[in-house]
Amino acid sequence: MTPDIIESYNRSRFRRILVNGIMYQERTYRNIVRTDDLVQFKVIVKETDLLIRAKKDLSQEAKESVIKYRNQLETYIAINPIFEKSLIPVEEAPHVPEIIEEMIRTSSLARVGPMAAVAGAMAQSVSEDLLRFSDEVIVENGGDIYLVTSKERTVGIYAGLSPLSMKVGIMIKPKDSPIGICTSSGTVGPSLSFGKADAVCILSKSTALADAAATAVGNVVREKKDIERGLERGQEIEGVLGILIIIGEKMGVWGKIRLIRL
């Protein structure tokens, strides 16, 4: 059986549309994602736009989960605005919600600001809530994926104009999950990066860490010769299991990554 392809789409090919008075960016790639064995649904709350697959439609449960975590983040940011604006790690704080604690912890490991971990942290937090209702859950949040699966799956890597874009994929076996798979880019999409990589994909058991690490690695890859430097930077981050870097026609790989041709 051919594994399902989940396109890890790093915040590009957006089309702006107005929904219920809120402008958001439609991820048009979602029309070709194939997970026929799972029920697929979207949850949109303000800027949070999740594509979710599970054994059944859990739209209401997912929406309640998103609202819960957004409220925690918005409340904390209102009290501590530096949390949202800092591009470097912030100090640990006592008695904070788990999602805040995880963002602070993982961004400190990657040596980036805590908001570099927000998409991954949201994807994992919502997934873990939904696992009470479905033993398989895949949550994608702007190219950052938390995946719990009982069958072999492939995550295709979108890398902008690179000739390698959607030509390679990462094989995920059930024993690998749960796992976070996060992709950052310096050439496509609005996400902040100081580098020029077409795609930096990180695997970790923590999706917040994978998200923060993808930003950290992406920041040091400005040209093809920096691929090795990027791989070294990623290996320094505790909790990173695998790294894939694509810039132009060049690719670098390290760690526990099974690549396949798409």
157: CATH: 3.10.520.10
**Per-residue pLDDT tens for 191-247?**
545 557 889 999 999 999 999 999 999 999 999 999 999 999 999 999 999 999 999
For 144, what's the count of Cα atoms within 13 Å in the CB-facing half-sphere? 31
Distances (CA, A) of 236 to 29, 110, 173, 213, 251: 33, 8, 25, 10, 19
Give 23: exposed, middle or buried? Use CB within 10 Å, 0-12, 13-18, 19+.
exposed
Determine the Cα–Cα distance for residues 142 and 183; give it in Å rounded to an integer.
9
Residue 78: how many other CB atoms lie within 10 Å:
10
State the Cα–Cα distance between residues 162 and 244, nearest whole angstrom. Answer: 14
Q: What is the DSSP letter of 19?
A: E
Q: Low-confidence residues of the chain, pLDDT below 70?
A: 1-34, 186-195
Amino acid found at 38: L
This prediction has a pTM of 0.86
The sign of the CA dihedral 225, 227, 228, 230 is positive
pLDDT of residue 195: 59
Per-residue pLDDT, 1: 41
Q: Residue 247 and residue 218: Cα distance in Å, rounded?
A: 10
Contact call for residues 190 and 11 (beta carbons, < 8 A): yes
What pLDDT does 254 receive? Answer: 97
Q: How far apart are CA 210 and CA 213, in angstroms?
A: 5
Predicted confidence at residue 142, as pLDDT, reads: 85
Residue 131: the pLDDT is 98
Q: pLDDT value at position 36?
A: 79
Is the CB of residue 145 less than 8 Å from the CB of residue 182?
yes
Domain that holds residue 166: 4-261
pLDDT at residue 34 in the model: 57
- Inter-residue contact 184 to 147 (CB < 8 Å): no
The number of folded domains in the chain is 1
